[in-house]
Amino acid sequence: MGYLDKMDREQIKKELRTDLEKGLAAIKKGVTVIQKKAEELTEEGKRQYKRLSTKAKIHDAMRDLGTEVYMLMSGARIKNPALNAALKTWKVKKGEHPWWELGGGGAPWNSMAYDPKLKLLYVGTGNGDPWNREVRSPGGGDNLYLSSILALHVETGKLAWYYQVVPGDTLDFDATADLELADLKIDGKLRHVIMQAPKDGFFYVLDRETGKLISAKPFAVVNWAKSIDLKTGRPIENPAARYKDKMAVVMPRQAGGHNWQPMSFDPETGLVYIPSADGSAVFVGENHKNFVYRPRAWNIGVDFAGVAKKILELVKEGKPPPPAMGYLKAWNPVTQKEVWHQPMGGAWNGGVLSTGGNLVFTGGAGGVFAALNAQNGEQLGAVGLENGILAPPMSLSVNGGRYLSPIPISAPTRLRRHAHSTLCLLKKNT
């Protein structure tokens, strides 16, 4: 294996500088368009909200949510049909904290996907804020468009369709995991699909033109829902998982069956490679009637003192919650079945890269960067990088040579202890 000191550094710097300049120019152009639209939205919003009595609160809500409103719907909130429909799914009772003061949630904070033929941009949205729906929306409701996959017309920003993964989310189950586009032959017919393996532990396959659910099966250990109803697209929930007035032990845990670390689809094997985890979480909800909003604090509506007490009781009874375990799983999206898996040791592991050479690359919490056979999961080689790995590896070509770039950084504290572990280039043997 070769390392960075065996490469032409000046050429790399030149190529990176050129790419950076192009990227900055594109970003500048995009920011100009967004700023103009945001200004129009703000002025229209001001005119619409003059009729409302709580002007100060609404102004704050517009300030905090304005960017998200543009990204999701591209239109004034009152006039936008999609947002009007969403507002009906939030239930605030008189005397309760309004959700726009608490945050609401739904941030589209991770990667997106784009279909140039359909001209649709696909975005996954975040969980509710506070997590506890009894605090955020005491009257219940689906709380659109939390924990959803949205398809937006790229030229107008208008909503083409949506699919809500977890209606009325109360478990921190966002739908911001990466979205994979693929063409799959299902039941003898070629389907143009979008796939996601979000926190909730189910693997979803949707028609990417219409948003219709094609299939959904658990890829991790799940107890919050029995299954996904293919007719309604909604989960058949386990009522015990909603911690309204009792403790709940939920699987997957808050970190999910799969989090932000990218999975990878290999069209040659037809498999999706998922950095997954199995684990449980204990929830004890705060009483929404006694909830007190604390500025600059973590207001999620969960009684962490109560959680700690329950866990301590379980430990004393000899029934401690089992530790979470991480795996790299090869998943067949057509049959919705696991093909193989490899234990990864820790539960918080790195993203995945699959290549045309029938290889899968990934890293783990223990700092081991490995190459596996894409068909059967056999480990073909590994190297220790002294630190946990979260980001997915990249593959690049320089002067005819092929290189891999894992980034062994698991947390800022580890980065401070291992300042040299910021980038590692490994040469691929040919």
Catalytic residue ranges = 172
8 Å CB contact between 122 and 149: yes
Question: Beta strand pairing status for 368-373 and 379-384?
Answer: antiparallel
Residue 91 three-state SS: coil
Residue 24 three-state SS: helix
Bridge partner list, 398: 401
3-state helix vs strand vs coil in the chain, percent to 5: 25, 30, 45
Amino acid at 405: S
Of 282, 270, 371, 283, the closest CA to residue 328 belongs to 371
Q: At what angle do helices 55-73 and 9-49 cross, to 10 degrees?
A: 130
Give dist(CA 389, CA 261) in Å, integer.
10
Residue whose entry in the numeric block shows the structure tokens 């980038």: 423
Amino acid at 379: Q
Give dist(CA 429, CA 397) in Å, integer.
13
8 Å CB contact between 109 and 67: no
Radius of gyration of the chain, Cα coordinates, nearest whole angstrom: 23
Is the Cα dihedral 397, 399, 402, 404 positive or negative? Answer: negative
**Buried-exposed string 314-345: b where 16+ CB fall within 10 A, e elsewhere:** eeeeeeeeeebebbbbbbebbebebbbebebe
Q: Phi and psi dihedrals of 359, rounded to 5?
A: -125, 150
Question: Beta strand pairing status for 120-124 and 148-153?
Answer: antiparallel
